[in-house]
Chains A and B, each alone.
Chain A
Amino acid sequence: MADGQIVVSGLTKLYKNVRAVDNLSFTVEPGRVTGFLGPNGAGKTTTLRMLLNLVKPTAGDATIGGQRYADLADPLRRVGAVLEASSAHKGRTGINHLRVVCAAAGFPRQRAEEALALVGLTPAAKRKFKGYSLGMRQRLGIAAAMLGDPQVLILDEPANGLDPEGIRWMRDLLKSLAAQGRTVLVSSHLLSEMQQLADDLVIIAAGKLVRQGTVSQVMDSMAHTAQVRVRTPQATELTEALRAVEQATITPNGDGVLLVTGVDAPTVGRAALKASVELHELTTERPDLERVFLELTAGKAAIR
């Protein structure tokens, strides 16, 4: 398969006076699921649409496997996309929706049936689109994206409107597609979902790149926000002992528990030993993605 690396460099989009996307650069590697995260209005959708030649960038460019989308000879065989604000004609059946795409892309007709079977929609093939539930619509979108058996998959908020079972189905599908060596780029504002699904993360806010890396790299970069949880029957003595350590911030959490930030667990342990304070518990609590995300994007309001 051709190299499916996505490279976004210096991408900028100006709408009137708003910089929806501001000099954004990142790369997405094949064989991995990359989560594209940002609060609502961060510019995720605009970025994906620029990548797919649907929106003209003000500056910069984006390539898939070294080529711009508009220059791909057989775009649907290279890239499959499921975008928001993309739908099917309400009065057209699901199978006919896929047949139209097949006809335009020059695929054989039976690809429509195959793709429909892949997403489990065969029983609803001859039902009109207006009779589809939200989850079925999302599945039909994925079927359309899979028609050309593409190396690269781009999905904009695919979990929207899916029930828990649908979300699990989607997660398993995307993971298996990445395991086959495909590039999978998924945008979302649902962090918990990304933590379970993504290998890599690209986080943007207010149109700008905030962090890029593997999930653990992004978490580590926020290690200074890690907190130490310590439980002791002598909370007052320990608090006094820790006061001597300058950077420590101490928050009592009831039941003899203190939450300490600014210092690591060994420092807390040494301070306790020196003051002869009895400890019942001492653990480092890594921040979850949700907290990292909120901290990274804090103050970059979505409404601009």
Chain B
Amino acid sequence: MNLIRAELLKIRSTSTWWIFLLITLPLWGLTLMFNGFQSAYLLSPEAAEGMSGEDAEQIIAAGDPANVAANLYTNGQFFGVAIVMLLGAIVVTNEYFHQTVTTTFLTTPHRTRVVLAKLFAASVFGLVLWVITTAANLPAGALIMGANDEASYMGDGTVWRAIALNGLAYLLWAIFGVGFGVLIRSQIGATITALVLYFAGYIGAAIFFGVLSDRFGDWFNNLQLLVPSLASQLMVSGTELPGNPPQWAGALVLIGYAIVAGTVGTLLMRTRDIS
């Protein structure tokens, strides 16, 4: 408990957290704009016109108002979890960058506890960001739904499940971030690698699977679940989309990655020389 308080104080006592919030804000606005236009398109009756078979099916399913609402209420996830991951990494790499790790481990020789406190503190930050974006998404999303002559769907179970799973995504990405920071101690190295893997992995995997799934079929397409950024997007889709794995599978994959990242990070920290 003391350690968690200390780790939270570490985050609060520097300007990192509000700089991160400031970065998140415009990115949130950007995705809201994009999602606003996309919603209007998906909700319009002519969205699936001129398409055939499976594609039309997908578009119609995505155009389900409950799904559109879920997408709006989880808006900002794409950049939000990246920010959370960065903070998680910095929570660790900061200690090496500013050489505070010596003091930290002198105060607490049981390093496992330190890593756990860091995981917890980063998760708290992730959840705070989730609460803030969700609080902003609810009125903004309701407005967009209203503008398209749809109900707000705020009473809908699938919508709230998507919002809850979105929270889980923020939490899990915070844990990835900490794991990343342990693996790559250099501040710049860890943040840049994490960002490149996140964005390039997302785009690269999307292209990779888009091209190859036609040749290998659906089972191969389902493998994109193994790409963390795609898995977390899948997790927050409101309704099940045809041709896509179920949401819970995305959650399972992310939890698996988080456990691996957390465990590897802890084991590495325990044996590493601090000099």
Contact = CB atoms under 8 A, between A and B. Distances in A.
Tell me whether A and B are bound partners. yes
Interface stretch (A28-36, A68-76, A241-249): A68-76
Given A89-B94, A100-B10, A106-B2, A54 B275 contact: yes
Contacts of B13: 89, 92-93, 96, 99-100
B271 to A, nearest CB: 7
A208 B255 CA distance: 50
Interface in B79-111: 94, 98-100, 102-110
A92 B102 CA distance: 16
Contacts of B6: 100-101, 103-104
Contact of B106 (A56, A76, A103): A76
A103 B274 CA distance: 22
B186 to A, nearest CB: 15
Contacts of B98: 87-90
A46 B203 CA distance: 46
Interface string A49-78: 100111110000000000001101001100
A209 B99 CA distance: 29
A92 B15 CA distance: 8
A56 B9 contact: no
A228 interface: no
A136 interface: no
B57 to A, nearest CB: 53
- Of B3, B10, B107, B274, most A-chain CB atoms within 10 Å: B107
A75 B114 CA distance: 15
A275 B271 CA distance: 72
A53 B109 contact: yes
Contact of B107 (A88, A99, A105): A105
A55 B275 contact: yes
Contacts of A144: 103
Nearest to A106: B2
A55 B16 CA distance: 30
A85 interface: yes
B46 interface: no
Interface in B96-139: 98-100, 102-110
A119 interface: no
A49 B275 contact: yes
Nearest to A15: B273
Interface in A131-152: 144
Contact of A54 (B2, B10, B105): B105
Interface residues of B, number: 27
A90 B6 CA distance: 17
B14 interface: yes
- Of A46, A54, A76, A83, most B-chain CB atoms within 10 Å: A54
B2 A75 contact: no
Q: Interface size for chain A: under 10, 10 to 19, 20 to 34, or 35 or more residues? A: 20 to 34
A70 B105 CA distance: 10
A75 B104 CA distance: 12
Contact of A52 (B10, B106, B271): B106
B5 interface: yes
A85 B13 CA distance: 22
B22 to A, nearest CB: 15
B14 A91 contact: yes
B5 A88 contact: no
B103 to A, nearest CB: 6
B109 A88 contact: no
Given A46-B275, A103-B2, A106-B2, A53 B105 contact: yes
B269 to A, nearest CB: 12
Contacts of A90: 98
B84 to A, nearest CB: 20
A5 interface: no
A278 B14 CA distance: 77
A99 B12 CA distance: 12
A41 to B, nearest CB: 13
Given A55-B275, A56-B273, A83 B109 contact: no
Given A70-B109, A83-B106, A92-B10, 20 more contacts: A45-B275, A53-B109, A55-B274, A56-B271, A70-B110, A75-B106, A75-B108, A85-B102, A86-B102, A87-B100, A89-B94, A89-B98, A92-B13, A96-B13, A100-B6, A101-B103, A103-B2, A103-B5, A103-B9, A104-B2
Interface of A: 45-46, 49, 52-56, 69-70, 72, 75-76, 79, 81, 83, 85-93, 96, 99-101, 103-106, 144
24 contacts: A46-B275, A49-B275, A54-B105, A54-B275, A56-B273, A75-B107, A76-B106, A85-B99, A86-B99, A86-B100, A87-B100, A89-B10, A89-B13, A89-B100, A92-B10, A96-B13, A100-B6, A100-B10, A101-B103, A103-B5, A104-B3, A104-B6, A105-B107, A106-B2
Rank and list the top 5 A-B pairs by shortest CB-CB distance, nearest first. A104-B6, A86-B102, A87-B99, A103-B6, A96-B13
